Structures are given as C-alpha cells and as structure tokens.
Amino acid sequence: MKIDVTIATKNNQDTIEKVIRAIQCHIPYNRIILVDDSTDNTPELAADLGAEIYHCAARLGEKRIVQAKLAETEWMACIDSDVFVYPNWWEMMSPGISEARTGIINGYLDSDFIYIFPVYENYTKYCARLRSRLTRRIGCMSSVLVKRELLLRCAGHLQGVHAGEDTIIGRAIKDMGFSYIPVRTPIGFHWHKDPIAHHMMAYYRAGASARGRCGMMRGSFLAFKAAALHVLQLFGFFLNTRKIDVKLTKFIFNLYLLYCSGIAHSECSRIRIRKKISQLFDYHES
C-alpha cells in the first residue's frame, strides 16, 4: 500500500530537504505534495527532490483542505514542514488503517523541549494522553494518517482558521462517527529553531483564530474553558509525577495569557507576556 504525503509549507528552506528525505526513506509514498506559500527557496529545494509544488496563499485550516483535494489515495498523510519522521513511522501508524471505523491516526512526536525543558515535554505528552482518553479525538495535525474523504468533509469548518484546526478536524471526524487512534510511541521529531518563541506565537495565534471564528464574546468563553482545562491538566500532571514544578506552572500560565491576548488582539499584552517568558528562561529570542 502506498499513500500520498502532503506538507503545508511557508519559508521552510532550513528543514524541507531533511523532511522530504525522511519521508522517502520511511513512508511508502505514492506522491509527495507541497501546498506552499513561501518567499524563500523552499519550493525549489523540494522540487529538486521530486516533490510536487502547488502555490496556495491561504490560512492553515484552508491549506488542510487543499492538501486533501490534491491527494488521490484513500488514506493520506499530513506531515508538518519541520517534522522529521522516524524509521518506525509506517510500522506504528499503519495497523490502524485496517479498522473500518478509523478516521484518523495521530503519532506522538519528540521535540526540542526534551533538551531545554524536559518537564514541559513530559507535560505535553501527558496532556495528549489525557485528552485522547477523555475526548477520543486528535490533538494535532503535525504527523497524521487521515482518510482523505473525511478531511474533505471538514471544509466548511475550516474557513478562516489559522490555528487550532487540529481540534476542529478531530471534533468533526468524531461527529461523523469515526474514531481517532493515538500512537503513543514517538514516530518523529518536531524541530523548531526557537521552540519557546514558537509556542508563544502558537498560543497567541490560536487566540486570534478563536476570535476570528467565534467573535469576542464566544472567544472569551473559550478562554475560560481553556483556563479550566489548564488547571485540571496541571493538577493531574503533578499528581501523576508527585511533584509541583513552579517554572512549569508559570510557563503554562503565561501561555494562557498569550491565548487571551490573541482573543483581545492586544499587541501590547503579547509583547509584555513574551518578555516575562523570556525572563523565566533567561534567554533572548532568535
């Protein structure tokens, strides 16, 4: 069995060659498809390695649908432009395909936090396990196998979405009556040049996207739900590890404030909170 592998890219010339080479080595691919919106050499580098390039200046949620439209195989992979798949990717991901009601298979990833902030790396994996048990739906789209037809049916939910599309897709596929299978053995490495800055921007962008989808009032309600979820997750994590980590608590709290700043479209708050996180880690953003 071969699958189409799709990658949404924007200015990823530092990683795209390694990403594609890992896919070529470890995934039985039919085609490698880039949905690209770059101003650097990303498309040229990818084309030299045999990838198909399609230009698409759209938000990330809309790019997910373009990826599905361009793919042809029943099952397709979505791999982020900074994810290097491990040799065990296909071995761990493919068994779930045989189950009739499986809609999406999500593989856990290692990240740079394992080196710079290990407790946060462990916390994110704990949260992923907890959410998959409670909600039975996907937690990210960075490295997944998904039924192409189901992803196409999510199109109406993803217009104007630039962050948090993974949660929307997971909820929609679950509502269609299909299941989500988590693969808890890491099957790739999620690389970021500056992982702390990346996470800060991701939370701010998620808040801004929530406001764009739902408006200020509904977005504020989502922020309240996010706060409650963070508290419960931290409490459960500390019970599980039998240790309270103050630095982790401060980091999570400030990420939540960045989410709220995104909802409020407050650039001043975003800058102030980013400075607080920088002081927490005693570093300067690259």
| Chain segment 9-63, per-residue pLDDT in tens | 989 999 999 999 999 999 999 999 999 999 999 999 999 999 999 998 878 788 8
Domain C-terminal end among 148, 175, 190: 190
Same domain, 229 and 140: no
Same domain, 95 and 171: yes
Same domain, 269 and 211: yes
Same domain, 41 and 146: yes
Same domain, 75 and 110: yes
pLDDT in single tens digits along all 286 residues of the chain: 999 999 999 899 999 999 999 999 999 999 999 999 999 999 999 999 999 999 988 787 888 899 999 999 999 999 999 999 999 999 999 998 988 889 999 888 998 888 888 998 889 888 877 776 765 555 577 899 999 999 999 888 877 777 778 888 888 888 899 988 888 889 999 998 888 887 788 888 778 777 766 677 777 777 777 788 888 889 999 998 999 999 999 888 888 888 888 877 766 666 777 677 677 666 544 4
pLDDT of residue 62: 86
Q: Is residue 273 part of a domain?
A: yes
Q: Which domain holds residue 269?
A: 195-281
CA triple 79-80-82, angle to 5 deg: 125
Same domain, 14 and 132: yes
Alpha-carbon gap, residue 150 to 148, rounded angstroms: 5
CA atoms within 13 A on the CB side of 204: 19
Same domain, 80 and 202: no
Alpha-carbon gap, residue 215 to 224, rounded angstroms: 14
Q: What is the CATH number for 186?
A: 3.90.550.10
Alpha-carbon gap, residue 259 to 90, rounded angstroms: 34
Same domain, 175 and 233: no
Q: Is residue 286 part of a domain?
A: no
170, 127 Cβ separation under 8 angstroms:
no
Q: Is residue 199 part of a domain?
A: yes
Same domain, 112 and 136: yes
Domain C-terminal end among 190, 205, 227: 190
Taken in order 68, 69, 70, 74, the sign of the CA dihedral is positive
pLDDT of residue 159: 77
Give start and end residues of each alpha helix (H) in 9-106.
16-26, 42-48, 60-70, 89-93
Same domain, 10 and 83: yes
Same domain, 42 and 134: yes
